[in-house]
Structure 1
Amino acid sequence: MPRSGGSDGGGSGAVNDGDEGAGRVVRSERADARRNKEALLGAAAAVFVASGVEAPVRDIAARAGVGVGTIYRHFPTRADLIIAVYRHQVEACAEAGPALLASCPTPYAALRRWIDLFVDFLVTKHGLAAVLQSDNAGFDTLHAYFIDRLVPVCDRLLAAAADSGEIHSGLAGLELMRGVGNLCIGAGSDPRYDARRMVGLLVDGLRRTD
């Protein structure tokens, strides 16, 4: 009489080594693709800083160490690439907030460091402001995305610094970000203007002195 439950060929719950190996290969390929895309976005951001958003795609490809076709495979149009770079930089800035709170000696130190990163983002997005005012529908949601991702991070940093007694309470993240943004206007066109110094004075003014 045959035994119930099936043979080594496997019952319904069996998973063979080949399936597991294939799964690992797929996950590895996905991780590699993600890293390659991250490298492309980092290269594009660096080229945009140096040469503006109209820089030749071949310059981005050369910096990333890939062929031009690889870039077009990920980003069929320049607008697709610009949007991806913008979102990538916003995400990096957003993710930095909690990381800085965990690693900096005080919440105020985390706030100062995060504002420095925010200023870097604002000052170095050469040509992006003009592009965002174009008729391309893909750019319409970027400002809302920027606000939705970064304002809560700034709010959290401000709340932590206020709770620790290092700064005055009551300042909203959007207010501070707008103030910083206004101080960064013109920084890219006037080499005599030091936006980082002016923003530093603003953030110094948040400190409690009593």
Structure 2
Amino acid sequence: MAKQMKYQTIKEVFRRFHELEPEPKGELHHTNAYTLTVAVALSAQATDAGVNKATRDLFKIADTPQKMLALGLDGLTEHIKTIGLFRQKAKNVIKMSQLLVDEFDGEVPSSRAALISLPGVGRKTANVVLNMWFHMPTQAVDTHIFRLGNRTGIAPGKDVDAVERAIEDNVPAEYQLHAHHWLILHGRYVCKARKPVCANCIIRDLCPFEEKTL
């Protein structure tokens, strides 16, 4: 774990991220708050590409809680059977859809506490939905961000909650809205787990990672 990076250095890191990609986007396909919530819940221990492939046809016929319930558990399971843990995820999506209809008039709530009350929705999923759909500066820490935060010192922490707090505490306010997207994309395509592509890294000169690769 690297030491906490200095504030001015972090500011320069995100200035460069912003310059390279001013409006970073998540890679999960969705059409509304509900399909986003379902897609993020399905993406746990699965790739975004795999989820997008499974939901391409699903969301054409079930883009609301009511339509998902009409499709039913067996119908949903058939659509997402290529995704890891698909049986449990299908059960959660059906339960989530029922709860949205019963308790929230079929609408995805804009409260973290309410989102976390939904089956299959944890803090990370809630933060993604709040950020991507409701444009709140929440930080969804996945394995990429956890690794990157600790490797670079941008947001070191022993667990995902600590890394989330470190991002909130140390990233300048003007970059908070897109911070987790910049970090995810950088961790996914440049600062990879086994072989980081340091030669292509725009923050290489600011990063304390000792095992820089060529």
Output the TM-score relative to the length of structure 1.
Answer: 0.24
Larger Rg: 1
More helix by share: 1
Higher relative contact order (CA 8 A, sep 6+): 2
